[in-house]
Structure formats: structure tokens, C-alpha cells
Structure 1
């Protein structure tokens, strides 16, 4: 037999070598099939399970990795886009509010009268006497104060004779006001803004004593750097801070090269109703070369521009907004995120985060990225990167073209960053700004790197564990698994009456018995689970809004929202405690439940959202989860309806209850509090103030804040009900009397 087999094998090999290629291929396949035929079913099962597990793990892991990475990148870009849009809205809103305020001031009689008074007083100073001592005071102030400040910030020498006042009126005003300021910059500003009268007996000083407080309020309340009145000839006849541009001429004076020149000309020649010009930032010499923009509006007399009111807009207002008041981490910008404004000259219009946090680190980074060292030195000397630091990138170029989008590119620090960019559109202005929200890719993709490592380790671990389990389980389940599979198929088809014979008493037998039991109880358990889920969902929705309930069910532990334009009511039913004391517990509870049921029904009808009911107190809101334009009116209507409900309750039961409510409107926060017991609650200054005015009002009635009163004063009658202290300031309280 051995000799024959060897001979046959040798013959087969010889035939294989001499056969054509196609024949040899068929012979190879035949040999592989013969080889597999000698492999046991157990080994085939193990091999199949291992291969399937490996392929499935790799495919699923790859899909999960791609999906997870894409989701994380989209989340980062979405966050940057949200920040960019939020900052853009806040910036345009801030400028719009300031424009509207300036329109109101220039249309008022005070500004017009002030311009006439200061112009007349300025003209009277043309022949005013100036002593040699006053002249020397002016020279000393420029030489020892103003010129040194400008040279310190600009880094260039300044010819003091070129900026010294020349006209008699200018020299007189600066001798009596500007030159008297202390040389310390901050002290000098405060001295000049507080000075109402130099007591020189001039008509100009009389006008200043009359109108200085008006313009001081504008400057200080809106944080402007200065307020100028410029007459129809271009003379700066008034300055709130009495700076070195007081008395100069914006058309041909020493500072005629500033953007104020063109802004003044446009305002004087504008025929547009409610015109307000807004210039780009520039290095303004009278402001010691600090970046300055101008808001300019004409002051009309008999339908023609008699002059302008120019408000000096400092870069600090822009920086506070764009840098989140230096609270980048608190607003979710991490360690490298920031938002920056850029101009058409590809220079910054706000300060760099790195500069504000570490100027020397800023200098090192920008110089390494290609910025000239003298530019970095100038930024440090200026105390900011505005109008100094270039920010050339594809993002800023695209934004200047009017495009909006996201991109991964290098920033001015030479770092690879994710950038969300957009143009900034300011109505009725010649500004061409762009905004960029950015974060370093190293920080933005840190989660992606960690996610990649985790996916690789988890996938490898799963493959290894499943291979071991496949070897073990294949040996155990190779025979009875088919019967269990058949039973599972019947159950999956909806046939729960499955009974598989139990042939063994080992683990497989127990599994088979448990399988049979599972089939019998599956229907009952499914019904119970569905019922329990329904009850749980109803309970959650009774305790909190649907959106919070869904997130809470997903396992989120910290859930909080900030809501704009929400009206809050805190109401007490006075007399409930006496009623509870007089009646038996079950009787008083029945009456109170009926009263609360009627109030809840009224709340639902008027679109109110009940937050909680505590003893005799009732907290509700309108516009919290469902935004409503008329949330103030609905809330007051709800309070009136509650009064009627209490009145009807008194008539029906013979009791003497009354309602006392406090209402405020504004921004509130809401979320889930507590662990493990969760309570949905609402908080914020609006909630506190509503509760405060409710508790602080001794008589029944509906009490509202000025915000509610201002909205409804045309449709409802209110009467003053005193004041309450809010952060140390007295705020008026109003009591609703009736509808108009």
C-alpha cells in the first residue's frame, strides 16, 4: 500500500507538472477542497467565527471611527460658527444701539442749544486776553505732557510747535481748561470731565457750566472717549474732556488728516434722515495715538446742519466684546480660542488673546510666524495689536470678499487653526470689517486623537476576546445551538410558545430551559415594560419640559438653559395658611387642590408654564420653552385671571383670600437641580426681583417692574407702589390698577 501510494503521488506530481496551466489550476482547487474536507466542522466553525468577527470589527470600527471623527469635527466647526455669529450679532447690536442714542441726542433741543451757546462763546474769545503766564502754561503742558505721551506710544519724535494752538480762541480755551489738567493721563481725564466752570467769566465757561453735565453723562454712561461739538465752520467749539483738539479746526487744523475730517464733511452734507456716520479706527494723535473711531451725526437747525456732535469711540469697547472681557475659558473657547476683527488693510481691529495674556510670548510667536520685529515692538509699545498686527489668511481674504464659511489654515501666530469667518455688516457705514473665530487644531482635534487611540485599542481588544470566545463556545454549542437557533427564529417571527426539549442537565440544558421560560414570559414582560416606559415618560413630562425630559433620559447630568425675553410671575394666595389652620387637613387640601387646579387651567389656556407650586406660592413663566412675543401681556392677563379665580373661590366658599403677585421680564436660566432627586427650577435676577417685589409689597395686588410697566403702560393703568433696592440702586415698582 505504501509503495502504491508513493507511486500514485509521484505520478500525480508528474502529471501536474506536464499538464497545461488551466488543468493545473483546476487541480489546485480540487486539492484545496480535499484539504477542507479533512478539517472538522468544529474547526471550520471556529475559523468562520474568527474571520467574521475580525472583518465585522474592522468594518464597524472603521465606520464608527469615520462617523465619530466627522461628528467631532463638525461639532468644533459648529461651535466656532456659533461663537462667530453670536459676536457678530452683539457687535452690530451694540453699534446700532449707540447710533440710535446719538440720533436721539442730536435731535433734541439740548444739543442744538448747546452748539449755539458754545459757538457764540467761542466767537467771543477771538479777542480775549491771554497773559504770558498762560501762554507758558500751554507750552509746558504740550512739551512735558502731551508730546511725551504721543512719542511714548508712537515711537517717533513730535514737533511740538506744529501742534501748539494758534488761534486766540483755541489758546484761551486750552489755557483755562486743557493746560490745567494734571500731567498724569488718568488724573487729567477725570479732572477735565469733572470741571464744569473755570470761573474766568467768559460766555463759553457759562455754557460749559450749563451743558457739561449733559455731555458728561453721554460720555461716561456709554463709555465714549470724548464728545465734541463742531460748528458749521469746522471749529471744535466744545470737548467734554477738554483735550488738545479743543478749539482746533477739523478742516485745516493740526489734526485735519484724521478720519474725523471726512466724517464731519459727510455729516454736514448728508441729506439722509437720522444720518449717523461711523468711521474705521485710526491712530488719533490727540488721544495719545490710541486707536480711535468716530460716530458723527449732524445737529439740525431749520432743516439744515448747523454743526455736528462727534463721539470718540475707543477700542476698549470693541476689545471687551471680542475678548469676552478676557474670559475665554469661561465661555468655552479653551486655551487657544479667540475671536478677532480685521479690516480691509488686513490689520487687526481688536487685540490678540496671546498678546493680552503674555505679550512676550506674543512677540516670540508672531516674529517666528513672519511678522517683522518692529511691528511686534510697536504692538507692545501701543499696548494692543489693533491697527498693528497683520492677520493675512485665506479666511480674512474670503471674508473681505463678502464670503462666510470655515477653513483650516495658519493664523498670524503660525499655528494651524480652525477658523470660522464672515464679513461684518454695519448699516449705513463704510466699514469693511471681517470677523474670525479660531482655535488651534491641536486643541480642537485633541478629542479626535484620543478617540482614534481608543477605537484602535477597543477594536483590537474585541477581536482578541472574540477569537478566544469563538474557540471556546464553538466546542460547547456546535450541536444544541441549531435547536436554539430554530427556537429563536420562531420567537423572532412572533411565536412565543416555543418549547425546546431539554436533553442535558448541564449549562446548555439550563440555557434551553431558560430559553423556554423566556418565550413564555416575553409577552408579559414586553407589555409590562411598555407600560412602565409610558408611566415613566408621563412622570418625567409632568416634572419638566419635554426637551429636558429627553436629555435626562439620555443620561445627561448637567442640563441648563439661558432664556431671553421671559416673563416671570411669583404669586402668593394670602389667607391660605389661616384656611389650613381652621379646616381639617382633608377638607383644606380639597379646597386648595381645587383652587390650584383652576389656576393651572388658566395657566394652560394663556400659554403659561408652571415651574412649581410651594405651599401658598405659585411660580410660573411665559416664553421660557415656547418663545412668545406677547409673553408680558399673557403673564399680566394670567395674574388678572388668578385674581378672578380667587374672587370666585371666595364667593363660592365664603372665604376671604387675596392674591399678591410680583412680575418681571428679562433673561432667566432654567435647568435640573439635585442628585439623585431631580427638581426642575428657574433662577436669575428676573426671578429674584419678581419674588422680591412680591414679598416687599404689604397689600394684595399685582406688582410689576419698570420693564413690564413700559411694555403695557399704553393698554393698562398702573400706579406707583414705591421702590425696591436692586444691587444698591432703587428701582420703581408699579401696581396694576385696571385696563385702559
Structure 2
């Protein structure tokens, strides 16, 4: 921001300064007024919401107190007592003759068409008629529902309009006598239904005429309802005036709509005769919560709801009453369970359908009052005001909520008005600032123009002194600055051309620019030398890389050309190129160079031996200018002289040394020359490693070719063996086929022989059987012949005996 202000024109700065001062003053006043107004309006809005919540709470509590009073008053009314006694007696005596087929058909028709279908639609369940008519033993219920529900010509919601029915039972006379009064009482005070139940759990009378009419609370589908639980509590109570409230729950006879009840015992003197039950209407609570659909003082988004101990709402939300389509769309978009949304849509109610587990509900159910701002399930900022509500033995929470933006709309309007006033004042301040800034900045435009020309490299003409104030002194100083700038320009031009000896003197010891230019000249002079050295190093690296690329067929060739090039480029006098042995314990002299000719000298140096061995062992460079005597001499045709500088550089890749370069010279090596050797040492070492790897690769390739030839010979032998094996295999396969054919022929012969054997045995058995039967017949014939002959012989013997006996008797005669 400061940098931006510095870059502004002087006229703009004057104008902006005046404008900012006025803006700060007005802004402070405006913001203070806005904050105070916002605080007051916000407090007033919170107080209004708190007042609404308390008034709704009192209205709800008063509503239930009135219901309790009406319930107790009606239970003590003599007409109610008489009606309950007569209905009980008539219900017990109810057994009028009714055609069973017609009764059953009518009831089935009503439950199927008018009740079960709508019940399934609302509950998203699969109830059937059998769920409600399976108990055929309750004939009294069937008779009552037949007359007052199934045959009732009025629509389902207006069954209460039927006063008289045609029937033989005295129950219908009692109904005609009391029903109009109970019906009028129910509609006058807004009750859905008034029911009378005997002490056995039978609902003997109902205004609404839903399917609980005539049913038993303990034996039917009603046994697990909140109504039955309340009825049990009434039976257990021992004192008069005891009232039980059955909280909202889904009630099947009401087509699965959430329903609440209130009940008390009816006494005749000190004797308990039955129970009076009110089915409460949620419309009365909705009217209290919504101020009869006007939502007074709650703008367009505010509403008041009641939440039970189960964190489920006991009222219908505002959105579903005002714009159901938008409400369902927002519920789907918010990711609410689709089953819940469909039930809400079909029941047209959010009672027990929507949960509120917000902090407001938790605090209120814990007997706390308060207010706070939080986000609702749609992400909107909402103001919550909450308070606990005690309804009989139930603890509820009443919560008023409204969109924060609507509550603070008055604050927003106040702020907008304040902004409009501030904008008007800002315009006035802007015009005033413009006039003052123009009058102050005009004298400085000339000076600004000359300084601008100077900043652009142009030299303005000197001008006479116009102003006698501070601006005049600025003009005089500007002329001095122009002269000084001309001298600086001439100095910079000469230095830029390389004339570093051009004379220039600083104006004073505090002449920062002059001193800086003098220092710049010296730095440029040094940079010129450094640049030449850098170019020499870069050129040398390029040259050595070309040598490494062009002469890498063998280590001998590589060493020869590398040491030759280095000696020449460095203008040295001698050079040696050492390579590490395979066991990595010694260095051997691969190549050396002196006086433009190669010397092939066999030389081996171990670790720690001399300067070469020391560099080998420590893997670091050695540069000495005090060379030991007789270490190295430079020979020529004119004689010999000792070397004055010796540079030994190891060739290392990673942590592995591959060789050493030794260079000797009659002149000392400069620092940049040493830097050059250090730089190319890595590339030389990499090339050595590459050449070694290439040689190993060629050796491996040669061995591989040898092995390939051997493998080729073996492959030929194996192919020959495979061919012989295939021939043998074909012969074996042919033999196997012949054997298989022989085996199959033998098998067929064996089968034929077995078949012939069976036939022979069969024929032989048949022949033997025929012979046996023939001999058996012959034996039977012989036995018969023998028996016949024996019989004839016996007969002859008897005849002979008779003859002999006759002859013996004749002489005696």
C-alpha cells in the first residue's frame, strides 16, 4: 500500500490525503453509529423472539390445561355418566340378528376399498384386510362397524353425521339419544374424537366412527398403542381426577396419522364405570404455533415448533403449510431419507417425521432457556430461541427459529441509509480536495517535468530561480544535480567501452553514487579477467570432451591423447597418465608426455609410495611448488632444469578411483588452471570407466559367441537325436495300433465265445430239462402202471382168496 502511494502523482497525493482524512472521520462516525444501531436492533430482535417463544409456551400450556379441565368437567357430567352406563349395558346386550354374508361382505368391502388402501399409502406398509377382521369372535364390534361405518353413506371423514340406524338393538336408540350432544361438543372444542370405553377395554362409543369403534384395547391390533398404555395407567390409578396424556404416535385407525389422546376415569359416585377419551387435533396446536397461519412477527422464514423427548417434532413446519412443493424439493436436495419424505408427502404432516437433534432441542429438554445463532440442515444461518415445556408428565421443547438475515433486515436497511449519506459526503470532500490539491501541485509541475527528463536520460536546460520559498531551493539543487549527472554519464560511457583508466572523482565522502560507480569500475575490471578465465575453462572442458569422445577405443589410446592434450593446453612441460591395476592395490603408468613426444616407460606405484601413491591412498589432489630434489627434471637440447610446479589429480567416479594424472611445469599453475584440471578429472574418470565396461562387454560378447557356437553344435546333435526318437516313436505308435487292433479282435472273439457259451449252456439246459421231463413223465407212467398192476394183483388175490374160502366150505356142507 505504501509503495502504491509512492507511485501516485503529487496532485493525486494531495487530493487523496485530504480525502482520506475526511473519509476516516466520517467512517469512524458512520461505523460507530452503525455498530450501536446494529447492537440495539439486534437486542430488540432477540427480545422479540424470546417474547414470541414465551407467549407460545404459555399458550400451549394453557391449551392443554383447558383440555384437562374440559375432560374432567365432561367426565363428571351426569349425561356422560348416564351415557357411559347405557352404552355399556347396550353393548353387552348387543346381539341383533344380521345376515352374516351381508355383514361380512360389507365390512370386507369397506376395509378393502376405503381403509386398507389409504392406510398402506400413508404408511408405505403392506397391511391386509385380514389384519383387522381376523377376529370373527367379536361380533359386537362387527355389528357396530357394519351399521355405523360399512353401511354409513357419509364419506370417511364425516361418518359422525349419522345419528340413526335401522336395527333391532336398543343400542341404536341410545346412540340417537346421546350422539348429537357428544358430536356437537367435539366439534365445538376442536376434538377429533370423543370415545367411551368400559372397564374391560371395549370402546363402546365413538363420535368419529373410525375402526377402533367397538374394538377391544387389549385383544386387537390396538394392544400396543399409546392409547392402550394410557388406558392401563387409568385403570391402575386410584384417585379421582387423574388424567393421562398419550403422546403423539402413529395410530392405525387414523390411517397412520400421528395422534395424541387424553383420558380420565369416569365415576358414578365412588364407583368406577369407565373411561372418557379425547382424541386431540393437531390443528389447534398448529394454530397456536402459526398464529392461525399468519406467523405474526416471524417475517417470511420464522416458525415455532415443539420437539418431544425423542427429538421428533410435534408440529407441522411452516414450509410444508406454505409451499409443500418447495419443501419437498429442499428435503430431497438435502439428502433426507426418501421414505421419510414420501410419508410426509402422503400424510401432509411433519409430526414425528422430522428429527431435531440440534443444540437448541437438547438444551430445552434439559430444562434450559436461551438463544444462539447456528446453521440449519440447509446451511442457512438461523437464530434459535428455546425453552422447556411441561405437558402433564411429558417434557417437550419449544423452539422458535428465524433466518438471521431477516431478523437483521432493519440493521441492513440502517446500514444502507448510512452508506448513502456517506457517499454524498464523500463526493463533497472529493471536490474540495480536488481544488486544494490543484492549487498546491501546480508550482511543482515544472520541477517534476525536469526531474522526469533527467530520469529518462535527457538533460534539461538550466532555468532561472523563480520561487524564493522551499520550491526555489529545490530548483537550485536540481541544476547542481544536472551538472553532476552529465559528469557521471561521461564516466559510465568510458567504463562501458572498457576504458577503465578514465578519471573521475567523487563529489564528497558521502557521494554514494560516485563512490558506487568507482567501485563498479574496479569490479568490472575484475569481472573481465574472471570472464576470460571462465571462457578458457569452458573451452578446455569442451576440447577434452571431444578427445574423450573420439579416442575411447582403448585405455592406451585414451591415455595418450588425454595427457597430450592437457600438457599442450596448460602449456606444461611433462605429463603422466596412471591407471589402477585389476587388484586395485597399485597404479601403472599408462602414458606419459614430454617435449611433444611420447615416452613408453614401464612404471608401477603402490599405495602410499611417493606423491603418486599418497594421492592414490588419500584420493585427493596434490599441488606443490617446492618439488623434492631429483623428483622431476625438464630436459631439452640445451640442457635440463628442475620443475617448479607439480599437480597430481586423482580420477574418481563416486567413491572409486580409476587413475591419476600428473603434470609438471616450469611455471606455477594458476588457480583457474587447477580448477580446470579438477573439473575435467570427473569426465576423464567416467570415460575410463566406460572404456573398461566396453572392453568387458566385448570380452563377454566374445565368450558368448563361443558358447553360442558350442550350443549350436549341441543343438544339432539334439535335433538328430530327436529325429531318431521321433522315428522310434512312430514305430512304437504303429505297434501300439496293431496291438490295440489285436486286443480289440480278441475282445470281440471273447465276447462271441461268451455269447456262444451262454447259448450252448442255454440249449443244453433246455435239452436236459426236456429229457428230465420226459423221464419224469415215463416214471409217472411206470408208477401208474405199477400201481394199476398192483391193484389188479391185489384184486386177483382177493378173488383167489374168496374162491379158496368157498371151496373149503363145500365139504363141510
TM-score, normalization: structure 2? 0.49
Partner residue of 1:111 out of 66, 80, 83? 80
Q: Deviations over 1:479-523 (max 9, x none)?
A: xxxxxxxxxxxxxxxxxxxxxxxxxxxxxxxxxxxxxxxxxxxxx
Contact 2:114 2:156 in 1 (8 A): no
Partner residue of 2:388 out of 412, 420, 423? 423
SS in 2 for 1:181: coil
SS in 2 for 1:325: coil
- C-alpha displacement of 1:60: 2.7
Q: Deviations over 1:183-224 (max 9, x none)?
A: x7xx2332x322223131312212212211221122111121
Matched, 1:163 2:132: yes
Give the structure 2 partner of residue 451 of structure 1.
414
SS in 2 for 1:280: strand
Which structure carries more helix by proportion? Answer: 2
Partner residue of 1:437 out of 400, 416, 424? 400
SS in 1 for 2:368: coil
Partner residue of 2:100 out of 131, 137, 140? 131
Matched, 1:217 2:162: no
Output the CA distance in 1 between the equivalents of 2:430 and 2:349: 62
* 1:582-601 correspondence runs (5 A): none
- C-alpha displacement of 1:50: 8.6
Partner residue of 2:144 out of 163, 170, 173? 173
Output the CA distance in 1 between the equivalents of 2:213 and 2:19: 88
Structure of larger gyration radius: 2
- C-alpha displacement of 1:320: 2.2
Output the CA distance in 2 between the equivalents of 1:301 and 1:360: 53
Output the CA distance in 1 between the equivalents of 2:227 and 2:89: 23
Contact 1:279 1:431 in 2 (8 A): no
Give the structure 2 partner of residue 205 of structure 1.
172
CA 1:448–1:86 in 2, change beyond 3 Å: closer, same or farther?
same
Matched, 1:388 2:344: no
Contact 1:366 1:414 in 2 (8 A): no
RMSD: 3.0
SS in 1 for 2:394: coil
Output the CA distance in 1 between the equivalents of 2:124 and 2:316: 19
CA 1:355–1:460 in 2, change beyond 3 Å: closer, same or farther?
same
- C-alpha displacement of 1:470: 10
Contact 2:313 2:355 in 1 (8 A): yes
Output the CA distance in 1 between the equivalents of 2:390 and 2:46: 22
SS in 1 for 2:292: helix
Output the CA distance in 2 between the equivalents of 1:437 and 1:100: 28
SS in 2 for 1:243: coil
Partner residue of 1:360 out of 325, 334, 354? 325
- C-alpha displacement of 1:366: 2.3
- C-alpha displacement of 1:462: 3.7
Partner residue of 1:189 out of 143, 146, 157? 157
Contact 1:391 1:411 in 2 (8 A): no
Matched, 1:151 2:85: no
SS in 2 for 1:244: coil
Contact 1:169 1:247 in 2 (8 A): yes
Output the CA distance in 1 between the equivalents of 2:113 and 2:350: 27
SS in 2 for 1:156: coil
Partner residue of 1:296 out of 259, 263, 283? 263
Partner residue of 1:406 out of 371, 380, 384? 371
Give the structure 2 partner of residue 351 of structure 1.
316
Output the CA distance in 2 between the equivalents of 1:450 and 1:145: 55
Output the CA distance in 2 between the equivalents of 1:368 and 1:181: 44
Matched, 1:318 2:289: no
Output the CA distance in 2 between the equivalents of 1:79 and 1:412: 24
Contact 2:249 2:352 in 1 (8 A): yes
Contact 1:291 1:314 in 2 (8 A): no
Output the CA distance in 2 between the equivalents of 1:334 and 1:88: 19
Contact 1:73 1:445 in 2 (8 A): yes
Give the structure 2 partner of residue 228 of structure 1.
195
Contact 1:338 1:353 in 2 (8 A): yes
CA 1:56–1:273 in 2, change beyond 3 Å: closer, same or farther?
farther
Output the CA distance in 1 between the equivalents of 2:112 and 2:20: 88
Runs of 5+ consecutive residues of structure 1 not aligned to the other structure = 1-43, 474-740
Q: Deviations over 1:73-115 (max 9, x none)?
A: 1122222222212222222222211211111110111111111
Contact 2:19 2:430 in 1 (8 A): yes
Output the CA distance in 1 between the equivalents of 2:60 and 2:288: 7
Give the structure 1 partner of residue 233 of structure 2.
266
Runs of 5+ consecutive residues of structure 2 not aligned to the other structure = 1-13, 437-813
- C-alpha displacement of 1:308: 0.7
CA 1:47–1:325 in 2, change beyond 3 Å: closer, same or farther?
closer
Contact 1:298 1:309 in 2 (8 A): yes
Partner residue of 2:206 out of 217, 236, 239? 239
Output the CA distance in 1 between the equivalents of 2:150 and 2:423: 79
TM-score, normalization: structure 1? 0.53
CA 1:99–1:451 in 2, change beyond 3 Å: closer, same or farther?
same
CA 1:151–1:181 in 2, change beyond 3 Å: closer, same or farther?
farther
Contact 1:263 1:296 in 2 (8 A): yes
How many equivalent residue pairs? 424
Output the CA distance in 1 between the equivalents of 2:385 and 2:79: 45
Output the CA distance in 2 between the equivalents of 1:414 and 1:214: 52
